[in-house]
A and B are shown apart, each in its own frame.
Chain A
Amino acid sequence: MLPRAIDAYRVLPELVWCGFGVLMMLMQPFVRSRHFFTFLALIGTLAGTAASVTAAMHAGPGFGGLVQSDSFSFFFRLLVGAVAFLVVLASGPYLERERLPFAEFYSLLLFAAAGMGVLASAQELLTAFIGLEMSSISSYILAGYRRDALKSSESAMKYFLLGSFATAFFLYGIALVYGASGTTMLVKMDSAELLHSTLFELGLAMILIGLGFKVAAAPFQVWTPDVYEGAPTPVTALFSAGPKAAAFALLLRIFATVPAATHFWFWAFWALAALTMFAGNLGALVQTNVKRLLAYSSIAHAGYILVAFAAVTSMAQGEGGAAKAAPAYAAVLFYLLSYALMKLGAFTVVSQLGGTGEKNLSLDDYAGLSQRQPWVAAALSVYLLSLLGLPVTAGFFGKFYIFKAAVNSHLLWLAVLMAINSVIGAYYYLRVIVVMYMREPSAEAAALGPVSFPIGVNVVLLITVAGTILFGVYPNPVIQFILQPTLLGR
């Protein structure tokens, strides 16, 4: 079947992102201006994000059902696009400081964004695999972008080795699922005989392992702290917000279309959620490096999102499940949005305060920050309080909706575990705030004077803080959007 023009519209954001990425690679030998590439990358990310509106206006399946353009993919394209845009804004000053080449960085970033876009709109497993690989391979390179730094290379190597292992699981899972059902199209996997087919379940388990790696769910989370710590911090910001969201999007889509998966995955998600929360929070408790602490906190937050997934699986079983599970879906989507805002902001602050070569990452370097740089300390506190889940921040509503989903589907024990974890989490987030506000700066830190915050970084902080507080006070528009019955195009 030949692709039609409308098919192109339905993947327009990805096309635009890829197009700008290729353009930048081509122009790299000829143009030396750093500002030019930054500008081009900003235009590219924005144009792709804007193109997702076009894609949403031409909703429907594209390329014979390989991808699906609907409100769901619209949401994730906007999210991924916004994340990419903010990362570009924040990484300009970073690249300049670390004396790293601009063009490749931005084009890799754009390819990664395109991969995530594909992942979020894929309706077929091999397409999803392509999206996964696009974003993963770009990520591997980005993680090792500080070639001279040992940690960065370690990060890339670890990520690559473990990542390809996980991808192999994913691919093998697809093969098994194909063997059992005779198709890779998600929509065709709804036959009743698949409900208890061992082969199919084995395939699903493999897919879950592959995606579990991507979202850093325990016991597949071991890579996360090292990779997050070693990667250039703007890239870490991208990792924690982008690929995670895209992988969760694919999981959600599988739930929405494959009844057997919903049925089979419930206990898997229950266990994953509980394990991941504890692995993340207990790991974070003992960290003294802020970047690593935030990495562990990412694991913990993946755990919270998995609680909502357990709620989805529990609600979506049986008749009329899709409608009942809608609030749980909404919880996941809202959480991903608020999580992206706060994590992006927090990592941006860490990136800027790190200084040349990312040397100042330890908790001691943050002592007395509130006196040296009150606004930065206030912004970081907003992110941390949001991660902690205190009211008047987006993180609170995110947590509230997940609690609600869990209680709704009678997962009380999971809710209680999550509550315990929230309190553990409160301890280490507070520790950072305590250091910033209640400790006097060390002599060296005071001698350094305030770190400069360039305009691009300030814009990122402004947007993320404003978003965190806005969605914490008035989440109505977002909630209304993600609760619409035709979210997944049906």
Chain B
Amino acid sequence: MLHGGHLLSVVIFFPAVGALALLLLRGDDHKFIRVIALIVSLAEFLFSLLMIRAVPIGAAGYHLEEYLKWINQPPINYHLGVDGISLFLVILTTFLTPISILASWKSIEHRIKEFFVMLLMLEVGVVGVFLSLDLFLFFLFWEVMLIPMALLIGIWGHERRVYAAVKFVLFTMAGSIFMLIGIIWLYNASGTFDLPAIQALLHTPVSQGGLELAPRTEMLLFLAFFLAFAIKVPLFPLHTWLPDAHVEAPTAGSVMLAGVLLKMGTYGMIRFCLPLFPEASRRAARWVAVLAIIGIIYGALVAMVQPNLKKLVAYSSVSHLGFVVLGIFAFHNISMQGAVYQMLAHGISTGALFLLVGMLHDRRHTFEISEYGGLATPMPKLAAFFLFVALSSLGLPMLNGFVGEYLVLLGTYQRHWGWASWAALGVILSACYLLWSYQRVFFGEITREKNRTLPDASAREKWILVTMAIVTLWMGIGSTFITKRTAAATQDVIDQVEPQRAYEASAPHVSVPLAKNTSASAAKAALSERLGVR
């Protein structure tokens, strides 16, 4: 079964089976529930690793496809498939879920069963989004995942949790309902909800029964999709739900939110906006880039002045995701690969940051930076991990954040040097706010008596952090394992959005050796940049 045709279905629905089993358990044996949830999520992680073998290096297109007729009128199919881009996003999801479960081991104290059920259902929705190849199915998972996330924030969150949960749902729904209209419109034009089929139609001349969208229609459709994705990312003027949701969510919720939910937006841009509406994407690119750059700088500046540690990390997400959007809309294979890599790296390092912030909150029940200070003395291990993660987030070479940011800047520079120079400001600023906040939290005198006796990382916390650190380091050094698998898929997207450039552009795999050399050749450039700052 696992090597046959249904692996993707298993990967999507296995957590649902686990959630159902949890529901049937009695609610008072907390330990047992936690262990079951952890086992389910770990098994799910192993299942998802099996997909790697099925995605050959250098081959674009979808693999492990599953196709089942679902609804006759209009024809909606259960169509799944995985390619280089979605592969690692799914693995990121299935990796972060057990981490989140471990992180919630102690900090969730009431309604424990429901909490883990929601976490697993969230995983179902997110993985489904990444693996759907039918627009309708995609939309279905996209909406389904809202409810578990809203409940995670609203039930187990902090003081203003209800406000944050409702805001999260309303923002997302406002975007997605227009996407639904867009999906239906596209169906009316093409007669199918099937993504590969629509792509094929778009590449067929009209004389042979192909599909060509009028420029105005294409633009409207692009906007309908883009709005939903931009809210999710979130892109600059639409980001206001994010700080609220992050600050109020429990640690596991923040990890999943920052780690994977935001990526659904950027994934949607790569998977749907660019290939389906290439002309409109090209026309909109410069505006999107402007918004992305504003997001990078604005997010970093706001992060810098945050008195609330969790909000600081939340705004850093706005800034980092701006890089991803910029990388996507630069239409260069290297920047696109960088965007994909940045999505993964951000998932790991921001996830780890939220875990650490959550651990601090478990000890002191506050996010205010002013409440901390000098924490390195009572808890040296936690401080060391925090520094490591902060460095990875600000893009220190050899760690994961660097690869993504560097590739984005490199690729963008080759198309629009102006964009890249503005965006590079974000790299500098991220060093400022992360290191400054680190200094305020961990260094200096201990100003609050309570902080003197805080316990250092427990065994469970060490396990979580060591795992995250290993992945961070591995992604910084062994980036080719990922980039060589994403290269073909991203090149395919570029070819679709700019077909005329497909010929002049260098061969699709030129980026692979480049990515290999990142840590060596590019380190110098970035180093000088950083040195210039200090």
Interface residue ranges, A against B (CB under 8 Å): 327, 330, 371, 385, 390-392, 396, 400, 403-404, 407-408, 412, 415-416, 419, 422-423, 426-427, 430-431, 434, 437-439, 474-476, 479-480, 483
Contacts and interface: CB of A to CB of B under 8 A. Distances in A.
5 contacts: A400-B184, A416-B181, A422-B173, A426-B173, A437-B155
A390 B71 contact: no
A437 B148 CA distance: 12
Contact of A426 (B151, B161, B162, B169): B169
B506 interface: no
B301 interface: no
Contacts of B188: 404, 407-408
Contact of B161 (A390, A422, A431, A438): A438
Contacts of A423: 170, 173-174, 177
Given A391-B140, A483-B73, A434 B146 contact: no
Contacts of A437: 151, 154-155
B181 A407 contact: yes
B166 interface: yes
A390 B146 CA distance: 9
B181 A426 contact: no
Contacts of B62: none
A422 B177 contact: yes
A297 B162 CA distance: 22
Contacts of A475: 71
B5 to A, nearest CB: 22
Interface residues of B, number: 31
B185 A407 contact: yes
B369 interface: no
B180 A390 contact: no
B165 interface: yes
B154 A419 contact: no
Nearest to B185: A407
A351 to B, nearest CB: 26
Contact of A403 (B147, B169, B184): B184
B170 A438 contact: no
Given A391-B144, A407-B185, A419 B155 contact: no
Given A392-B140, A400-B184, A476-B71, 13 more contacts: A391-B144, A404-B184, A404-B188, A415-B181, A419-B180, A423-B173, A426-B170, A427-B166, A430-B166, A430-B170, A434-B162, A437-B151, A474-B71
A326 B146 CA distance: 33
B515 to A, nearest CB: 38
B71 A479 contact: yes
Contact of B184 (A390, A407, A427): A407
Nearest to A410: B188
Contact of A430 (B111, B161, B169): B169
A330 B74 CA distance: 12
Contact of B147 (A385, A400, A404): A385
A426 B166 CA distance: 9
Interface of B: 71-74, 111, 139-140, 143-144, 146-147, 150-151, 154-155, 161-162, 165-166, 169-170, 173-174, 177-178, 180-181, 184-185, 187-188
B143 A438 contact: no
Contacts of B166: 427, 430-431, 434
Contact of B73 (A371, A427, A480): A480
Contacts of B169: 426, 430
A430 B147 CA distance: 10
A405 to B, nearest CB: 9
Contacts of B150: 430
B162 A438 contact: yes
B143 A390 contact: yes
Contacts of B154: 434, 437-438
A352 to B, nearest CB: 23
Please give me the 4 A-B residue pairs with the lowest Cβ-Cβ distance, nearest first: A391-B140, A419-B177, A438-B154, A407-B184
A479 B181 contact: no
A339 B111 CA distance: 32
Nearest to B27: A374
Contacts of A404: 74, 184, 187-188
Contacts of A426: 169-170, 173
B58 to A, nearest CB: 36
Nearest to B72: A476
Contacts of A419: 177-178, 180-181
Nearest to B154: A438
A407 to B, nearest CB: 5
B155 A438 contact: yes
Contact of A427 (B74, B165, B170, B180): B170
A4 to B, nearest CB: 37
B222 to A, nearest CB: 15
A315 to B, nearest CB: 13
Contacts of A408: 188
Contacts of B74: 404
Nearest to B178: A419
Contacts of B181: 403, 407, 412, 415-416, 419
A476 B181 CA distance: 21
Given A385-B147, A391-B140, A422-B177, A479 B72 contact: yes
Contacts of B174: 423
A422 B178 CA distance: 10
Contacts of A439: 162
Nearest to B175: A423
Contacts of A391: 139-140, 143-144
A415 B144 CA distance: 22
A234 to B, nearest CB: 29
Contacts of A385: 147
Q: Which of A391, A400, A416, A427 has the most CB of B within 10 A?
A: A391
Contact of A400 (B146, B170, B173, B180): B180
A459 to B, nearest CB: 22
Contacts of B140: 391-392
A152 B174 CA distance: 38
A427 B161 CA distance: 15
B16 to A, nearest CB: 11
B144 A392 contact: yes
Nearest to A423: B174
Nearest to B140: A391
A431 B180 CA distance: 23
Q: Which of B169, B170, B187, B188 has the most CB of A within 10 A?
A: B169
A391 B154 CA distance: 20
B92 to A, nearest CB: 24
A223 to B, nearest CB: 30
Q: Which of A327, A437, A438 has the most CB of B within 10 A?
A: A438
Contacts of A400: 180, 184
A421 to B, nearest CB: 9
A266 B304 CA distance: 57
A327 B72 CA distance: 13
Contacts of B161: 438
Nearest to B69: A476
A392 B174 CA distance: 19
A422 B111 CA distance: 31
Nearest to A475: B71
Contacts of B71: 474-476, 479
A392 B142 CA distance: 12
Nearest to B151: A437
A327 B140 CA distance: 21
B117 to A, nearest CB: 12
A69 B146 CA distance: 44
Q: Which of B139, B161, B166, B180 has the most CB of A within 10 A?
A: B180
A330 B73 CA distance: 10
Contacts of A427: 166, 170
Contacts of B143: 390-391, 396
Contacts of A479: 71-73
Nearest to B220: A412
A438 B165 contact: yes
A203 to B, nearest CB: 35
A400 B169 CA distance: 19
